[in-house]
Amino acid sequence: MPHKYIRSILNIYVDSPIDALEDHSKKVIEAADRLSEMLDRYLEGNIERVEELCRIINDLEHDADKMKQQFQLILPNSVVIQLDTNDLLDFLKSQDRIANNAQNAAHWMTLRSPEDLPQDVKDELRSLMKMSMACIRGYEKVMTGLEKLEVTSYSKVEIQKLVEQIPEIEKQEFEVDMFEVHVLKTLFKHENEIGGAGVYHVVRLIDNIGDIADQTARSVDIMRKILIKKT
């Protein structure tokens, strides 16, 4: 009988911690997806839905934290796998920060009404979120590919296929960084309209949205290092 990794949070068994990492990633990805929806509702002025989505994101981040803590407790002593446990823990912590960033953005969004935001700022915030979510979609694809690696006993060919997907995510993250500067320039053109507090609020929101792409790129970089060790 294969060694089992016990996830007491969900009260079920999985054959490998890779399964647990994937489950954790799903919580993280859902938090980002909910944040994307939350921004749309925020810019529409649907505050009731914004508050509801913020609560959902809080719950997802809390669930992800519980999964991370359980993984950290059990993995070093209870699992025999082909990957370095310290590397996996580093990846888990980095992955978990994506959910933290989504929660930070969600909380910040609830602090101020968007009613005085100019339309071009709203449009560019939507574009920035779309670009950050492109990083999330690439990251999701990488995480899905991990399952195939296990099936093929970490075939070098399959590892290479997965590693080759990572530069595109990093390219997208760089584009997010560059677009953040563009959004800031647009924002400061409206400083007199929305005031210093309004500008500060949007600057922080821009940072929080961009942080999701940044942390996604950091996470896949750690995963690349893990996978390259297997080649």
What SS3 state is found at 12? strand
Residue 64 CA: distances (Å) to CA of 28, 97, 107, 215: 7, 10, 17, 15
30: Cβ–Cβ under 8 A, 6 or more apart, which residues? 60
pLDDT exceeds cutoff 90 at 37: yes
Residue 7 tokens, joined: 């996830």
Look-up: residue for tokens 């953040």?
Answer: 180
Residue 107 tokens, joined: 């909380």
End-to-end CA distance of the chain: 28
> pLDDT value at position 1?
36
Look-up: residue for tokens 């929806």?
Answer: 37
Residue type, 27: K
For 12, list phi and psi in degrees, rounded to 5.
-140, 175
Among 14, 20, 3, which residue's Cα sits nearest to residue 69?
A: 20
The pLDDT mean for the chain works out to 89
Overall domain count for the chain: 1
- Tens digits of residue pLDDT in 38-76: 999 999 999 999 999 999 999 999 999 999 998 887 775
- List the CATH number of the domain containing 11: 1.20.58.220
Contact 202, 113 (CB under 8 A): no
- In the chain, the percentage of residues whose pLDDT exceeds 70 is 89
Residue 19 tokens, joined: 């399964």
Neighbours of 168 (CB within 10 A): 14
Per this entry, what is the length of the chain?
A: 231
pTM of the model: 0.89
135: Cβ–Cβ under 8 A, 6 or more apart, which residues? 169, 172, 173, 176, 212, 213, 216, 217
Burial class (CB in 10 A: 0-12, 13-18, 19+), 92: buried
Range of 193's domain?
5-228
Neighbours of 62 (CB within 10 A): 13
Residue 39 tokens, joined: 């921004």
Q: Would you give the distance in Å from CA 202 to the centre of its chain?
A: 20
- Tens digits of residue pLDDT in 189-226: 999 999 999 999 999 999 999 999 999 999 999 999 99
